[in-house]
């Protein structure tokens, strides 16, 4: 046993060594065999800046649950192979799209403090964008126009009250749109017009009473989905359970022809099967 004074000194030495270590060196670097990419797991490290000395071939960077208040794409320019970036649970107030991240396919900004949609240019390969559980109130016109490859957009748990008609213009590849748990009171006619690939639309947890006539494109049938039994069609049942709609008779009637119970054949995509869901929720 060391005398107490020496123990104290030894402890101080340890503390100063730890302080000198580049924070990023604490990240856990390993091969993600499922995705076949090198993964840097830097979650829960109390980081306030993006680590600057990760392996150059990092493909997956997990930065969730840190203290990153503001992040710019410029911080990741030294990682040219970056494909997945998780910045969830950071209290993030701003995300700056500076220099492009050409390979980035998945960007998770969920559970942060974003008060507005961040600019999204310079992310041409993006497939999956997680913006759930922020404080976004508005979507600017054509906000996602630069994301022509996007397949999954998660906006649940924000403060959206209304949407411009072309909020989702340009998202021709979008398959899964989650607008649940916002404050939507109405939806504009034409909102879905350009969403040619949409197969899952999630609207539960809003204040919708009706949708405009012809809101749903004629040749599309949507499985209304809800993980929460308050609204929508219960996915696993063959028929739509009328009781599971909370949106009111008018909306029910306007949906029943194109949604649950129609003969048009519904693509019943199971919830939670998206690539994003594992990280974002
Ligand atoms: C990342 O590290 C955290 C903390 O060590 C751990 O809880 C989590 O499971 C890791 N995530 C992955 C995807 O390996
Ligand atoms: C409707 O969709 C089906 C299946 O995708 C397609 O074969 C058909 O041509 C479409 N009809 C119209 C009018 O677009």
Same domain flag for 142 and 211: yes
CA distances from 281 to 111, 154, 180, 238, 272 (A): 9, 10, 14, 27, 9
Q: List the single range of 43-52, 64-73, 125-134, 208-217 with lowest mean pLDDT.
A: 208-217
pLDDT of residue 218: 62
Q: Is 171 part of any domain? A: yes
Query: Phi first, then psi: what are they for 31, rounded to 5°?
Result: -80, 130
The residue among 220, 238, 264 that closes a domain is 220
Choose the residue to mutate in 62, 108, 277, 279 for probing ligand 1, maximizing ligand atoms within 8 Å of C-beta.
62
Parent domain of 152: 138-220
Same domain flag for 131 and 142: no
Same domain flag for 29 and 127: yes
Same domain flag for 160 and 132: no
Q: Is 1 part of any domain? A: no
**Cα of 192 from ligand 2 centre, angstroms:** 16
pLDDT of residue 196: 84
Which residue has the least CA distance to atom 11 on ligand 1?
A: 41
41 lines ligand 1 (CB under 6 A): yes
**Shortest-distance ligand to the CA of residue 264:** 2
Band of pLDDT at residue 201, cut at 50, 70 and 90: confident
51 burial via Cβ count (<10 Å: 0-12, 13-18, 19+): buried
43 lines ligand 1 (CB under 6 A): yes
Same domain flag for 166 and 204: yes
**Cα of 43 from ligand 1 centre, angstroms:** 7
pLDDT at 189 over 70: yes
Same domain flag for 110 and 180: no
Structure tokens at 180: 């649940």
- Chain-centre distance of CA 55, in angstroms? 26
Same domain flag for 129 and 142: no
**Cα of 208 from ligand 2 centre, angstroms:** 29
Q: Is 121 part of any domain? A: yes
**Shortest-distance ligand to the CA of residue 218:** 2
The residue among 220, 253, 275 that closes a domain is 220
Q: Is 240 part of any domain? A: no
Q: Is 17 part of any domain? A: no
- The predicted-structure confidence for 85-106, as pLDDT tens digits, reads as follows 999 999 999 999 889 999 999 9
pLDDT of residue 23: 58
Same domain flag for 114 and 178: no
**What is the number of domains present in the chain?**
2
Same domain flag for 108 and 146: no
- In ligand 1, the atom with minimum distance to the C-alpha of 279 is 13
Same domain flag for 118 and 171: no
Same domain flag for 54 and 132: yes
**Cα of 80 from ligand 1 centre, angstroms:** 23
Q: Is 13 part of any domain? A: no
**Shortest-distance ligand to the CA of residue 32:** 1
Q: Is 116 part of any domain? A: yes
Q: Is 226 part of any domain? A: no
- The predicted-structure confidence for 107-164, as pLDDT tens digits, reads as follows 999 999 999 999 999 999 999 999 999 999 999 888 899 999 999 999 999 999 999 9
The residue among 112, 136, 160 that closes a domain is 136
Which residue has the least CA distance to atom 4 on ligand 1?
A: 43
Same domain flag for 116 and 46: yes
Which residue has the least CA distance to atom 13 on ligand 1?
A: 41
Tokens 């979008």 label which residue? 174
Domain with 31 in it: what CATH number?
3.80.10.10
């Amino acid at each position: 046993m060391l005398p107490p004074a020496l123990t104290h000194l030894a402890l101080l030495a340890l503390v100063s060594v730890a302080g000198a270590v580049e924070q990023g060196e604490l990240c856990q670097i390993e091969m993600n065999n499922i995705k076949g990419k090198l993964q840097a797991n830097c979650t829960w490290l109390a980081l306030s800046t993006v680590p600057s000395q990760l392996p150059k071939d990092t493909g997956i960077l997990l930065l969730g649950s840190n203290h990153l208040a503001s992040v710019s794409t410029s911080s990741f320019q030294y990682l040219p192979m970056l494909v997945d970036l998780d910045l969830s649970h950071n209290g993030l107030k701003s995300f700056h799209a500076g220099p492009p991240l050409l390979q980035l396919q998945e960007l998770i900004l969920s559970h942060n403090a974003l008060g507005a949609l961040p600019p999204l240019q310079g992310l041409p390969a993006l497939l999956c964008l997680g913006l759930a559980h922020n404080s976004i109130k508005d979507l600017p016109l054509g906000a996602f126009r630069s994301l022509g490859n996007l397949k999954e957009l998660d906006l649940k748990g924000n403060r959206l009250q209304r949407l411009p008609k072309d909020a989702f213009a340009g998202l021709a590849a979008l398959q899964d749109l989650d607008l649940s748990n916002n404050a939507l009171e109405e939806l504009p006619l034409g909102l879905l017009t350009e969403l040619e690939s949409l197969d899952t639309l999630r609207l539960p947890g809003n204040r919708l009473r009706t949708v405009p006539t012809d809101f749903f494109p004629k040749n599309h049938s949507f499985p209304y989905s809800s993980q929460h039994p308050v609204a929508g069609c219960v996915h696993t049942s063959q028929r739509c359970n009328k009781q599971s709609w909370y949106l009111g008779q008018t909306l029910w009637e306007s949906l029943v022809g194109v949604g649950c119970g129609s003969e048009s054949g519904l693509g019943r995509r199971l919830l939670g099967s998206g690539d994003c869901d594992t990280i974002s929720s």
